[in-house]
Amino acid sequence: MNSLKMTHLKFQLIGMLMGDAHLQPSTKKDTARIKIIHGRKQYLYVNHKYNLLKLWTRMPIRLYQDKNKNGMVYKKYYFNSLMQPQLFFFYHLFYQNKKKRVPPYFHRYFHPIVFAYWFMDNGAAKWVNHSKGIRLCTDNFTKSEVDLLANKINEKYNWSISVYKQRNNYRLYIPNKNYEFSLYIFPFIIKSMVYKLPLPKGFINEHKSDVSLSHPRGEEAPKGRAVRP
């Protein structure tokens, strides 16, 4: 893997870990593995991540089925990497006392790739087709961490980000009034996830040839019996 791809992968992993990805360390604390899991409707996104990390995994993408406390059955797709020394750097960056945290000096990693993968994992439009606003889920982090994120991002980008409470968690809200956040991350949003991103009217038709919209759609989701991860 060349240096540019490695740099991109570093930013992609940081964005994933700001979102739904999780790391598990080895008993010797010198390697770690990453776990990727998303709902069945996000199979193409799981497949995209699998292709990014395929040098570090031997298992195929698998289907996971479970019931929530109300008895509703839901399905997700997942895969785990092998234990890798390269991934322990990210474990050390994101975890303290086995608990996920916002990395110290996170502002050093500000990059459109980081924000793109964070958005694809945990972002959503405030009101689809009716609002430009974007919400970023930060449920893994404390209020002080979320406040710090908002302050540091605003210092660099002046996006007027605010913090709001959702039940017992705190999340980020980006007004995105001029689509500034959307346009910043758009080049790194994969085709199957563009639907989540508020964009100016006619923008997609004008940018059909962009790299982000030319990503292969990937293979079809695997079929068969669901198993636990």
Instruction: Tell me the whole-structure pTM to 2 decimals.
Output: 0.89
What ranges do the domains of the chain cover?
A: 1-101, 103-216
Going by C-alpha positions, the residue among 92, 93, 76 that lies closest to residue 35 is 76
Q: Quick one: 1-101 is in which CATH superfamily?
A: Homing endonucleases (3.10.28.10)
- Report the CATH number of the 103-216 domain: 3.10.28.10
CB 161 within 8 A of CB 154: yes
One-letter amino acid at 205 equals N
- Report the SS3 class of residue 151: helix
pLDDT at 131: 86
pLDDT at 228: 52
Q: How far apart are CA 180 and CA 161, in angstroms?
A: 12
pLDDT at 222: 59
Q: What share of the chain is helix, strand, coil (3-state, %, to 5)?
A: 40, 20, 40
Place of tokens 């302050």: 151
Tell me if 1-101 shares its fold with 103-216. Answer: yes
Q: What is the pLDDT along the chain (229 residues), one digit of tens a residue?
A: 567 778 899 999 999 999 999 999 999 889 999 999 999 999 999 999 999 999 999 999 999 888 888 888 889 999 999 999 999 999 999 999 999 999 999 999 999 999 999 999 999 998 877 789 999 999 999 999 999 999 999 999 999 999 999 999 999 999 999 999 999 999 999 999 999 999 998 888 787 666 454 444 444 565 555 555 5
pLDDT at 213: 47
